[in-house]
Amino acid sequence: MTKKNSSHKSAAVSRRTLLQAGAATIGAAAFPMPVIAQTKPFAGVTLRGASFQHRFFTLLQNYIPEFEAQTGMKVDLQLSAFPVYNQQANLELSSGGSAFDFVNVTFILAARWVAAGLLANLDEFTGDPNLTPAEWKPKDFVEGAQVPYRDAKGATYGYSWEGGAMVMGLSRMDLMEKRGLKIPKTFAELEQVCAAMNGADNVNGIVSFQLHHWCLPPYIQGFGGNIFRNPPADIMPTLNSPEAVQAIEFYANLLKNYAPKGVLTYTEDQARQSLLTGRSNIFIHSSAWITPILMSGDSKVKDTSRVVRMPAGPARDCPAANSQGLGIPKNAKNKKAAWEFIKWALSPEISMRLVKEHGHSSVCRKSVIASEEYRRLNTINGQDLGALYLEVLGLPAKGENYMAYRTVKEFPIVGDVLNKAFEQVATGQLPAQAAMNAAQEQAIANMRRAGTAL
């Protein structure tokens, strides 16, 4: 009996167990798996991305574990030095490789990559509500920062993570006030202030660095000239126009007469250091390099500094603007996963966290820059840096896109020629007109050699 009962009990348990197991299997098949799939949609995916080393990515790396936990994917982000990354990305993209799922779309190379069709069209992702929720708002990116990542038809191939707005930093307002000098608003006033400040109290009037094809074009445009005739449609160089000659002469005189000795070989760091220590009074460059005079712990001139718009030229007011973006290579293996990463990295939430938690202010989300929080954090000594940043960054998108010269894929060739010509003028090797005539000739010859029909 006992044995029989026992056997019966055993059979009953077995049936129950079987039923339970069956129900669990059916249930698991019907419900829990999709739930898991929804929470970890990219489980098992290793996302490979590359960029140059920048504070943005160093900060972002702090948050990447959160993203990995949300999506289940692993992010392998390779960061290299700027020139190394650009060479590597150029080779990778142009050879049609699939080593990277997302890449930095470097500003100076963006036009080249977009024109050559090396990047995926991101409108396909933003246009699909299943891939991009409405609250992500592609139009929330600062318009001026997005210009380089569009093709002729307006399709988008990158979203910007960094905006560079050219502003003017003045380190020794105390000395300027003592000498009755006001913040220069025109090129002529700029020269007067540089002359009045240079030499005394161990202060140089102005400082700059060796990337002249970034620093010089606002002067050329300010005098009414341009780099190309009508970019991007007409890319005939206009380096020897009277306005360009006047500009190069003006800028060369500024550096020759009022800048530290050896300024022509200064790197950005050297110039920034000269400003931060008050050895040079004026530095005109991207906001990321200038605003540290007010915000950095290294600044010795926090209390005597101002950050303002760069002076306007006699003909036009064209402070330069640039940006860096994230895009997806055309042959990437994990495009959807890459888009998930870009969406997350450039979301308003992450942008705001970067601003609040790390003081990283050069984000490109209009809603963030215009927020009270951003304004509170970036208003220093009564100066609303956010408003200034947004104003400058938005200028190329208003009316004429004067930064279009920079988005032309032939710009690196012409920019290099411009650099050489400037150095020849600044060192007295050639007069401005002769240097720019030679530069014009050289630019045309180089462009033709590279296959551009002019």
Shortest gap between Cβ of 262 and another protein (angstroms)?
Answer: 4
Number of residues engaging another protein in binding (CB under 8 A)? 44
CA distance 190 to 239: 23
The span of 28-36, 260-268, 364-372, 378-386 binding another protein (CB under 8 A) equals: 260-268
Considering only residues 54, 279, 343, 365, which one is a binding residue for another protein as defined by CB under 8 A?
Answer: 279
Pairing of β 159-170 and β 280-286: antiparallel
Q: Counting contacts by CB under 8 A, is residue 270 touching another protein?
A: yes
Q: Counting contacts by CB under 8 A, is residue 323 touching another protein?
A: no
User: Is the C-alpha dihedral spanning 132, 135, 138, 142 positive or negative?
Assistant: negative
CA distance 185 to 189: 6
The CA-CA-CA angle for residues 438, 443, 444, to 5°, reads 105
Closest C-alpha to 351, from 46, 41, 140: 140
CA distance 365 to 354: 12
Using the minimum distance from each CB to another protein, give the nearer residue, 212 or 366.
212
Q: Counting contacts by CB under 8 A, is residue 406 touching another protein?
A: no
Taking every pair of Cα atoms in the chain, the longest distance, rounded to a whole number of angstroms, is 118
What are the residues whose beta carbons fall under 8 Å from the beta carbon of 108, sequence distance 6 or more? 86, 406, 411, 412
Using the minimum distance from each CB to another protein, give the nearer residue, 97 or 127.
97
Using the minimum distance from each CB to another protein, give the nearer residue, 262 or 382.
262
Q: Counting contacts by CB under 8 A, is residue 347 touching another protein?
A: no
Considering only residues 208, 210, 226, 378, which one is a binding residue for another protein as defined by CB under 8 A?
Answer: 210
Q: Counting contacts by CB under 8 A, is residue 416 touching another protein?
A: yes
Using the minimum distance from each CB to another protein, give the nearer residue, 123 or 423.
423
The CA-CA-CA angle for residues 153, 155, 161, to 5°, reads 135
The span of 92-100, 137-145, 150-158, 372-380 binding another protein (CB under 8 A) equals: 92-100
Q: Counting contacts by CB under 8 A, is residue 200 touching another protein?
A: no
For residue 240, give the 3-state DSSP assignment: coil
Shortest gap between Cβ of 415 and another protein (angstroms)?
Answer: 9
Considering only residues 265, 297, 382, 399, which one is a binding residue for another protein as defined by CB under 8 A?
Answer: 265
Using the minimum distance from each CB to another protein, give the nearer residue, 95 or 379.
95
Shortest gap between Cβ of 312 and another protein (angstroms)?
Answer: 29
Q: Counting contacts by CB under 8 A, is residue 449 touching another protein?
A: yes
For residue 221, give the 3-state DSSP assignment: helix
DSSP secondary structure of 174-204:
HHHHHTT-----BHHHHHHHHHHHSSGGG-E
Q: Counting contacts by CB under 8 A, is residue 238 touching another protein?
A: no
Shortest gap between Cβ of 222 and another protein (angstroms)?
Answer: 24
Residue 139: burial class (beta carbons within 10 Å; 0-12, 13-18, 19+): exposed
For residue 405, give the 3-state DSSP assignment: helix
Q: Counting contacts by CB under 8 A, is residue 379 touching another protein?
A: no
Angle of the 242-258 helix axis to the 187-197 helix axis, nearest 10: 20
Q: Write the interaction track for another protein spanning residues 108-127; mark x where CB under 8 A is met and - where it is not.
A: ----xx-xx-x---------
Residues that bind another protein (CB under 8 A): 83, 86-87, 90-91, 93-96, 112-113, 115-116, 118, 210, 260-265, 270, 274, 279, 409, 412-413, 416, 419-421, 423-424, 426-430, 442, 445-446, 449-451
